Chains A and B, each alone.
Chain A
Amino acid sequence: DQQVKQNSPSLSVQEGRISILNCDYTNSMFDYFLWYKKYPAEGPTFLISISSIKDKNEDGRFTVFLNKSAKHLSLHIVPSQPGDSAVYFCAASGLGAGSYQLTFGKGTKLSVIP
């Protein structure tokens, strides 16, 4: 039973346009959410995060939106660049007292076309 779902395995976007990656979760106990970016043959690298007490967090070209009632979050990349082409993982944390363990989705492969 998947608690963090990324239903789009892949996404293609033109350079300069907006990329929107989506993530849904089922467990209302999750209280912190992160996005990781992964290039081939490398480990995931942290991109941006959001606490459940916020509905938006912005860092440069990257913005994460959280809709708690819908148990949904999204990552917006504006403008998209070819170097953004990678697999993006949504992760959630907060299960268990004092736990910072991450539960990951399956990932979405973003291709930014020049």
Chain B
Amino acid sequence: EAGVAQSPRYKIIEKRQSVAFWCNPISGHATLYWYQQILGQGPKLLIQFQNNGVVDDSQLPKDRFSAERLKGVDSTLKIQPAKLEDSAVYLCASSGASGSYEQYFGPGTRLTVT
């Protein structure tokens, strides 16, 4: 079974520019998560989708971050405009059966904002 796919793997942008990340979860997984992992910290949840609906986006900085999951499969996370403090690894994870605690993570996108 193919794992969670993310692209790009690395991205360098200047502050105030925009950037988008893409995630393709494991086939059939209804729940999708986006996390931000700053160097030296654990992953921090940004947004959770169930199919194509948002379950929780309380920790998403909505003035600059947006996310969507059209058709309940792939998802994109966008930052516009980026700030220096957005430099981090952005991880996408998915989980399958309803009520599953176990999440499967993609390799992440490392974003550097200069």
Chain A residues close to B by CB (< 8 Å):
4, 32, 34, 36, 41-46, 49, 89, 91, 93, 99-107
Judge whether A100 and B99 touch: CB under 8 Å: yes
Q: Which residue of chain B has its CB nearest to the CB of A32?
A: B101
State which residues 56-114 of B face A: CB under 8 Å: 56, 91, 93, 95, 99-108
Which interface residue of B42, B45, B105, B106 has the most chain A CB atoms within 10 A?
Answer: B42
Judge whether A102 and B103 touch: CB under 8 Å: yes
Q: A57 vs B49: C-alpha distance in the bound complex, in angstroms?
A: 30
Q: Which 8 A-B pairs have the closest CB atoms?
A: A104-B42, A43-B105, A44-B105, A104-B43, A43-B107, A46-B102, A43-B106, A106-B42
Shortest beta-carbon distance, A28 to chain B, in Å?
18
Judge whether B93 and A106 touch: CB under 8 Å: no
User: Is residue B16 contacting chain A, with contact meaning CB distance below 8 A?
Assistant: no
Chain B residues close to A by CB (< 8 Å):
4, 31, 33, 40-45, 48, 56, 91, 93, 95, 99-108
Q: A61 vs B40: C-alpha distance in the bound complex, in angstroms?
A: 27
Residues of A contacting B99 in the complex (Cβ-Cβ under 8 angstroms): 100
Residues of A contacting B100 in the complex (Cβ-Cβ under 8 angstroms): 100
Judge whether B4 and A93 touch: CB under 8 Å: no
Q: Which residue of chain B has its CB nearest to the CB of A49?
A: B101
Residues of A contacting B45 in the complex (Cβ-Cβ under 8 angstroms): 101-103
Shortest beta-carbon distance, A58 to chain B, in Å?
17
Residues of B contacting A103 in the complex (Cβ-Cβ under 8 angstroms): 45
Residues of B contacting A102 in the complex (Cβ-Cβ under 8 angstroms): 43, 45, 101, 103
Residues of B contacting A93 in the complex (Cβ-Cβ under 8 angstroms): 101
Known: A89-B42, A101-B45. A34 touches B107 (CB 8 A): no
Q: A93 vs B99: C-alpha distance in the bound complex, in angstroms?
A: 11
